[in-house]
Amino acid sequence: MESVCVTGAGGYVASWVVKELLAKGYIVHGTVRDPDDEKKNGHLKKLEHANERLHLFKADLLDYVGVCTAIDGCTGVIHVAMPVPAGKVTSPQAEMLEPAITGTRNVMNACLKSKVNKVVVVSSIAAIFGNPSWPKDRPMDENCWSDAEFFMKTEKWYCVGKLISEREALEFGKKNNLNVVTVCPSIVFGPMLQSTLCTTNIILLNLFKGKNSFNLLEFDKAEEDIHIPIVDVRDCAKALLLVYEKPESEGRYLCSSHVLKTKALIEMLKNLFPNYNYPTDPCGLNEELNYTCEKIMKLGWSHRSLEETLVDSVENMKEAGLLS
C-alpha cells in the first residue's frame, strides 16, 4: 500500500488532501506541530480510515530531522505547509520567509534522502500574478513568474515566500533528478474540516459583517473593486492528487476556477443570503485580470460552481456556530 506524506496536515487545504488520500486507499503520514493538540488536529483523527491509515508526526518544517522521520518510507510527498499572515507582519524574515524557504529546502532534502518518487509543492497564484511587465494582451499562465523585488518593495512577504520557495523547489528537482511538480492555487474558499478559522474564510465571514478585508491576503486596498480569483478547497485538493497521480504531470500548474470582482462577489452573496450587513460598494478599479488554467484542465481537472462553493461555505460556518 502506497504511503504519501502531507506537510502541515492539520491546515485548511492539507486536511482535504489527507481526506482525499485516505478515501483513495493511501497510507498518510501527516506532519503537525503537536499530534496531541485536539483543537488543531482532532478533526484529522475523525476522518474515515484515519484509525487504520493515518499517522501523525510531530515535525516543525525547520526541524530537518523531524521532517526526515515523517517522510521516511513514503513514495511521495505533498508539501502544503505555509504560514498565512493574519495581520501586519512585524518580522518578515522570521515569520514568513524563513519558514517558507528553509522549510521547503528541508522537505526537498528529506525527499532526496528518502528517494521518494514524486513531490507536489503547493505554491500560490501570487507566484504568477505579480509581474508588472507581463504583456497586457497575453493571458497569464505557468510561464509567468512574479517579480520578487516588486513584492519586497510593497512588503508582500507571503508572496515573496511562496515565489522563492517554488522556484527553489523546481530548481532542486532538476539539479538532483527529483520529480518535483508545483501547483499554484488561487484564493481558496469552501467548507472547513478543521475548527480554527483560516484566513480566506475570515475574509468571507467578514463580508457578512459589513467588512471588506481582502487586504489580509496582501492586496493593496481592500476597498477597491479588485478581481478575486477563486478555487474551491475540495477542487484544489483534487487537483493536487491529480497532479500527484498523473505520470505525465510536469512543471507548474495554475489552479483557479472562477474570477469576479469584489462588487460582483458581494452582489452574489446578497442574492444567496440577503439577510446580512454587507460592505458598501467598493470603488472602481479598471485593471483587468487575464489568465488561463488550460494546462491543468488538459490533465483532466474539473471544478464545481461558485454558487456551490459559497453555499457550502456558509452552511459550514453556520454548523460551526460562526454565522447565524
pLDDT of residue 318: 95
Report CA 142 to chain centroid distance, whole Å.
16
CA separation (Å) from 219 to 50, 138, 155, 156, 214?
Answer: 38, 22, 11, 8, 6
Domain positions in the chain: 3-319
End-to-end CA distance of the chain: 44
Q: Residue 276, by phi and psi: left (phi above 0), alpha (psi -120 to 50) or beta?
A: beta
Please, which residues have CB within 8 angstroms of residue 117's CB and are 6 or more apart in sequence? 75, 76, 179
How is residue 41 written as a grid cell?
A: 488536529
Contact 321, 192 (CB under 8 A): no
pLDDT of residue 156: 86
Q: Let me know if 162 is a catalytic residue.
A: yes
CATH number for 3-319 (one of 3.30.360.10, 3.40.50.720, 3.40.50.10300, 2.60.40.420): it is 3.40.50.720
Q: Which of 156, 162, 238, 295 is catalytic?
A: 162
Rounded mean pLDDT for each run of 10 residues along the chain, 324 residues in total: 96 97 98 93 97 96 95 98 62 75 95 98 95 91 94 86 95 98 97 92 93 82 81 98 98 97 94 93 72 97 98 95 90
